[in-house]
Structure formats: structure tokens, C-alpha cells
Amino acid sequence: MKERLILISNDDGPHALGLHSLIEVAKDFGRVVVVVSDTGQSGKSHSITMSQPLRIREVEKTEKHAFYTVNGTPVDSIKLGLDQILSETPDIVLSGINHGSNAAVSVIYSGTMGVALEAALHGIPAIGFSLLNHKPDADFTLSKIVVRKVLHSVLNNGLAPNVALNVNIPDVTPEAFKGIRVCRQTLGVWSGEFEKRIDPRAKEYFWMTGYFENHENGNKDTDEYALSQNLASIVPVKPDFTDYKSIEMIKNWNFEQ
């Protein structure tokens, strides 16, 4: 039987503990090729680099494993991996494990999930993993258990075409963990987003900050609710932004004004 090929990326750079935790588990499932941005790329969403040339650096290459860095965004990395580095289509694309939540609307800003959605566009099954702890030395013990379970299930069951999974993992011990729940994306918005400061030359500047304002009032089918119950959340996501419900409504408008 042909060995599985697993392509991995992330948005926290090549040295992130979450990335190396993901690689450690993935190696038990097949041959692993890693292509990641050479610097941290949090918040880069689905951005691509159009005005600068991109370069690929081979860091490590053995029969079992290869590791490349790219001077671009997470989506640049996965595109270069699929188009230039690999000579065959991978069986699955994995992204993460992100240091910090990508639940609720954070999926939209996330480079980790940009990678997974790009793979989904290419028709490749993909999973983005995120731990609800943004510290560089976060404990990935539970995360590795969840990655193993979800990866095993996806490889056995497959995903619908052009669908990826957004998996978020609570920051608790394996003993406190309550299991895995399939959810929908929590609706809400980031509020109070900027902290104003004054620089040594008396000029204003702003740091992006803020808090997540949950608009769901505790609806139990959402990812934020599951995570609050020490459950890991899985939200299936797709790169089709169409709001089908609005199509018929707008068709009745008169555009002749």
C-alpha cells in the first residue's frame, strides 16, 4: 500500500511548539512535508503576496520527512507546497497547531485557517487545529490526543468536497477534557479594538486589541459554547461565502433607478 502524503503548514513560523507537536503526531500517519512561513504570520487570513517575489528554502529533506520555509504568507506557503514543492497531490493538508483560539469569527482572520481553506479550494481534505492558549510554551499534551483522534477519523471517513475542519481545543488537561463536539461557527464581532498610545515624538499610534462580543446568548450548538464546556469543537467550513438565503430576496429588487 502506498504511503500517505501529509502536507503541513501553520501561521506561527517554523519554530512554534504547536507546529512541532502536529508534526510529531502526523508522522505516525504517513510521510510528512512541512512548508511554512519563515516568520510569524498571525492574522494574515487568506492573504497572498502579489507584489514581491517569493523564495523557498529547503531546511531538511530525508526519505521520510521534508521541511521548507517561504518568505510569504501561510497561503503562499501552501500554494508553493502544492504547485512547486510536491510532485503529487497530498492525501491531506494539516495546519497548526495554532497558539491561540480560531473559534467563532476568528476563523476569518486566521492564517491557520487560510491554509485549510486554500487546501479545500484545491479539493484536498484539510484540518486546521488551534489550542486556546497563545503562549509560546503552551502545553500541547491534550492537543496531540485530539489531533490523533480527528486525523484518524478524517482519514477513515473523508470529507465532503471543498470542506475543511476548524478544530479548536480547550486549554485543559486530558483528565478535565470532556470530548469532541461538531458545531457551527459562533456569530459575533471583535469590539473595543484599539489601544491608543503616544510615541516619544508626541504622535498618536494604535495597537490592535479588543475582546470578542458573542452574539449567540449561549446557543449550545456553537463552537464557543462547546469550548466553554471543556469540549474540543469541530466546525466544518467551506470557501463559498454566498448567502443563499439572500439571493431570492435581492432578485425582487428593481435595479432600474
Among positions 112-171, residues that touch a second copy (CB under 8 A) are 114, 117, 121-123, 148-150, 152-153, 156-157, 159-160, 162-163, 165-166
Task: Specify which residues 70 forms β-bridges with.
Answer: 37, 56
Q: Which residues contact 144 (CB under 8 A, 6 or more apart)?
A: 21, 24, 25
d(CA 176, CA 71): 40
d(CA 135, CA 143): 14
Q: Of residues 5, 13, 48, 216, which one binds a second copy by CB under 8 A?
A: 48
Q: Which residues contact 41 (CB under 8 A, 6 or more apart)?
A: 11, 12, 13, 73, 74, 111
Applying CB under 8 A, does 40 fall inside the site for a second copy?
Answer: yes
Task: Check residue 45 and report its DSSP letter.
Answer: T
Applying CB under 8 A, does 87 fall inside the site for a second copy?
Answer: no
Applying CB under 8 A, does 64 fall inside the site for a second copy?
Answer: no
The nearest distance, CB 58 to a second copy, in angstroms, is 11
Task: Check residue 88 and report its DSSP letter.
Answer: S
The nearest distance, CB 7 to a second copy, in angstroms, is 15
Closer CB to a second copy, 1 or 250, in the complex: 250
Q: How many residues bind a second copy (CB under 8 A)?
A: 87
Q: In the structure grid, which three cell numbers stand for residue 195, read together?
A: 489601544
Determine how many CB atoms are found less than 10 A away from the CB of residue 231: 20
Closer CB to a second copy, 63 or 196, in the complex: 196
Q: Which residues contact 235 (CB under 8 A, 6 or more apart)?
A: 103, 107, 165, 166, 182, 183, 184, 185, 223
The nearest distance, CB 241 to a second copy, in angstroms, is 4
Q: Which residues inside 166-205 make contact with a second copy, applying CB under 8 A? A: 166, 179-180, 182-185, 187, 189-190, 192-194, 196-197, 199, 203-205
| Residue range at the interface with a second copy (CB under 8 A); choices 29-37, 59-67, 86-94, 103-111 | 103-111
Closer CB to a second copy, 24 or 221, in the complex: 221
Task: Check residue 49 and report its DSSP letter.
Answer: -
| Residue range at the interface with a second copy (CB under 8 A); choices 14-22, 27-35, 80-88, 135-143 | 80-88
